[in-house]
Homo-oligomer: A and B are copies of this chain.
Amino acid sequence: MERDIFLNISPLDSRYYKSNRELMELLADYLSENSVIRYEVLVEGAIITVMEKYGTVPGGSARIMKKACQSITPEEVYEEEEKTRHNIRALVNVLQRKVSPRLAPFIHLSATSEDITGTAQALRMRDVFYRVVIPLCVKLMRILTDIGMKEAHTAQIGRTHGQHAVPVTVGFLFAGYADRFGGRLVKIAGAVKDLRGKISGAVGAYNAGSLIFEDPRKFEEDVLGELGLKPANFSSQIVEPEYMLDLMHAVVSAFGVLAQIGDDMRHLQRTEISEMGEKFEKGQVGSSTMPHKRNPWNFEHVKSMWKEYAPRMVTRYLDQISEHQRDLTNSASNRFTVEIITAFTLSVDRLVRQLPKILIDRVNLEKNIKTADGMFLAEPLYILLAVKGRPDAHEVVKRAALQAQKEGRGLFDVVEKDDAFREITMLDSWKKLSQNPAAYIGLAEKRAAEIAGYWQDVIRGIEKECNAFGETENG
C-alpha cells in the first residue's frame, strides 16, 4: 500500500526518512511493520522445523512451510485481521491456507501469540543491532578514538561551570567521549546477546505443549535454538520485560553520550569561543534573514533528538508491569520502541558524517588558552606554595588572583612582585609554566592516547563479532 511520505505523521517517516534514505531503508528491514511479519513467520517456521525433527509432522513439512512463509505479505495478513481482529490468528489463518490440510492444523500449535511476537521481536532486535546499529557505533568509536589520538597533544582550555579552569587537550576531550560511548557500546552488545524468546504457551506454563511433547521445555529450547536464541529463564504469557528493558537502557544512555558530544560541540562553536565548527557546505544558508550566520545545526539536532527520545524510557519502565500472566496495555506501547532505536541510529550516523569534517580552529584554541593571561596558573601556584608548606596557600593565591583581576595586571606580574611567592618563582617547574601556560596539561596527552588505544582494541573485537554473526546467518 503506497503513500506519499510527506503525508506521514511521524517526522521519522517523512523528514528524516528523506534526509537519510539509505539508512532508513536498512532499518526498515528490521524495524518496520513489514519486518514484524517477516520475522513472525520465521518463528512459525522454526516450530514446524522442530516438529518435523520430532516426527510430529510429516517429513518435508519444514520445506513446505518455508515456502509458505516466504510468500506471505502484510496486505494479506491485515486483510484477514479485519475479520479476526487478532493479528497473530490472522497470520496463522493465512499460513494455513498456503499449506496442505495435513500440515495446516500443526501451524502455531501449542504456541500463544506472544510466543511468536515476543520471540520475533528479540530476533529483529538482535539482527538490527548486529547488522546496522553496532557497526555504525563502531564507526563512531573509530572517529572518536582517531581524534583522541591525533589531537592528543593539542592544548585546549578546560572549562568547568563555563569558566576557564586548567588546560586539557582536544584529544583528551575526545578520548573521554570514546570512553563513555565505548562503555555504552559494550552494554548494548551485552544486552543484545542476552535477548530471549519463549515458546511456553498461553500463560508460560507449557500447558498446551505438555499435551503434544514429552518435554515441552526442550521443545522450546530446540525451536529457539533453530533461530539462534535461548529461552527466558521464566515466562508468563510474555518474555520477562527486563531483557529488552536493559537493552533500551543501554541505548538511551548511549544516546545521552551523543547528546553530550552535540552539546559540547555547539558550545565550542559559540561566536565567542569558536574552537570547533561544523563544516559549512557550499550553498548552505545559516539563517533566512541573517546572511552571515553559521549555525551548529547538526549538533543541535542530535541534542534535540535526544530530548525527544530519552524521556520515552519512562514508558519502558511502565511496561514492566503486566497484570497477572499479562494484560495488553503494553502491546501498543511496545510497538513504539523501534522509534527510539531509529532515532538513536540516525543520531549516531549524523555524528559519523559530521565529526570527521569538524573544523578544529587552532588559532582560537591558542587564543582562548591565553585569555586572562595565564590566570589558571593560580592552581599550580597554589599547589607549589602548599608543597612548600604554606598552610594558607589557597587563600594567599586567591587573594593574588583577585588582585590581578581587579588591577588588570596579569597573574605573573602580581606573583613576581609579591614576596609570598619568591620561593616559587625560582622553581623550574614554575618557570616553565609561566613561559608556556598551555603546557599545564598534566597527563592529558598520555591518557588521551592510552584511552583511545584501549578502545581501538575493544572495537576490533566487537567488529569481529558482528562479522562472525553476519556470516553465520547468511551462510
Contacts and interface: CB of A to CB of B under 8 A. Distances in A.
A315 B314 CA distance: 10
Nearest to A37: B6
Count chain B CB atoms within 10 A of each CB in A172, A257, A320, A447 and give the residue with the most. A320
A375 B393 CA distance: 46
Interface residues of A, number: 198
Contact of A444 (B176, B205, B429, B451): B205
Contact of A383 (B11, B212, B240, B315): B212
A461 interface: no
Given A380-B208, A401-B292, A393 B328 contact: no
Contacts of A201: 166, 289, 442
Nearest to A25: B7
Given A330-B307, A429-B211, A317 B3 contact: no
Contacts of A205: 158, 166-169, 172, 441-444, 447
Count chain B CB atoms within 10 A of each CB in A205, A208, A234, A292 and give the residue with the most. A292
DSSP majority for the A interface?
Answer: helix
Interface in A281-331: 281, 283-297, 300-301, 303-305, 307-308, 310-315, 317-331
Contacts of A102: 389
B442 A206 contact: yes
Nearest to A430: B211
Contacts of A209: 442
B234 A245 contact: no
A42 interface: no
Contacts of A393: 105
Given A32-B6, A326-B160, A289 B401 contact: no
A112 B289 contact: yes
Contacts of A106: 386-387
Contacts of A13: 8-10, 13
Contact of A376 (B206, B292, B389): B292
Given A158-B205, A289-B111, A329-B307, A210 B297 contact: no
Contact of A330 (B216, B304, B322): B304
Contact of A333 (B32, B108, B308): B308
Count chain B CB atoms within 10 A of each CB in A5, A106, A303, A308 and give the residue with the most. A308
Given A11-B336, A104-B391, A160-B326, 14 more contacts: A2-B5, A6-B37, A9-B12, A89-B288, A92-B288, A162-B271, A180-B242, A210-B442, A291-B378, A291-B398, A292-B375, A295-B328, A308-B336, A311-B315
B324 A264 contact: yes
A163 interface: yes
Given A32-B9, A242-B183, A311-B314, A386 B109 contact: yes
A101 B10 contact: no
A315 B310 CA distance: 8
Contacts of A89: 285, 287-288, 394
Contacts of A271: 159, 162-164, 371-372
Contacts of A53: none
Given A9-B339, A83-B283, A271-B372, A207 B314 contact: no
